[in-house]
Amino acid sequence: MIEFSSQNDFVLDNEERVTKWLKGIALKESYGIDLLGYVFCSDDFLLDINKKFLNHDTLTDIVTFDYTENKILNGEIYISTDRVAENAEQFEVSFNTELLRVISHGLLHMCGYGDKTNKEKNIMRAKEDECLILWNT
């Protein structure tokens, strides 16, 4: 099951399509889904989570709590819509494109992809691009 909720006034369009897309990504990566909870929130809300649980005092677009076991995805993904909007502007893409990139980024983390090293970042970006292509097909 995939659930979407908001801690701010954001409303996700096309929940059904996003759910189907995420299931397709998981399947492509040979994972099943138990429960994924996506929570859309403000910078302040996510900063508080970042400080409290990760001891990071920085703004971020996403925090993923991964409880995946045996190739069955399970976890919570918090996304700052404030960061998504700012990043979309910075990268000169639409808000929706950046949002989909970040939504898939969280799932990809849970599938074992990292983004700490340059090599990992390049692989993650390529995977995100594959996910966006899947969205558009």
Domain boundaries, the chain: 2-135
Q: What is the mean pLDDT of the chain?
A: 93
115 is in an annotated binding site: yes
Print the SS3 string covering 63-112: EEEECCECCEEEEEEEEEHHHHHHHHHHHCCCHHHHHHHHHHHHHHHHCC
What is the predicted pLDDT for the residue at 12?
95
- H/E segment holding residue 26: helix 15-28
Torsion of CA 97, 100, 101, 105, to 10 degrees: 170
Q: Is the pLDDT of residue 28 over 90?
A: yes
Rounded distance between C-alpha atoms, residue 66 and residue 6, angstroms: 19
Per-residue confidence band for 59, with pLDDT thresholds at 50, 70 and 90:
confident
56 is in an annotated binding site: no
105 is in an annotated binding site: yes
pTM metric for this prediction: 0.92
Mean pLDDT of 81-93: 95
Q: Are strands 72-80 and 62-66 parallel, antiparallel or unpaired?
A: antiparallel
Per-residue CA distances from 77 to 3, 92, 119, 136 (Å): 10, 24, 23, 23
What is the predicted pLDDT for the residue at 60?
81
Share of the chain above pLDDT 70, in %: 100
What is the predicted pLDDT for the residue at 45?
94
Task: With CA atoms as reference, report the closest residue to 95 among 83, 85, 106, 104.
Answer: 85
Structure tokens at 74: 């399970």
CATH class of the structural domain 2-135: alpha beta
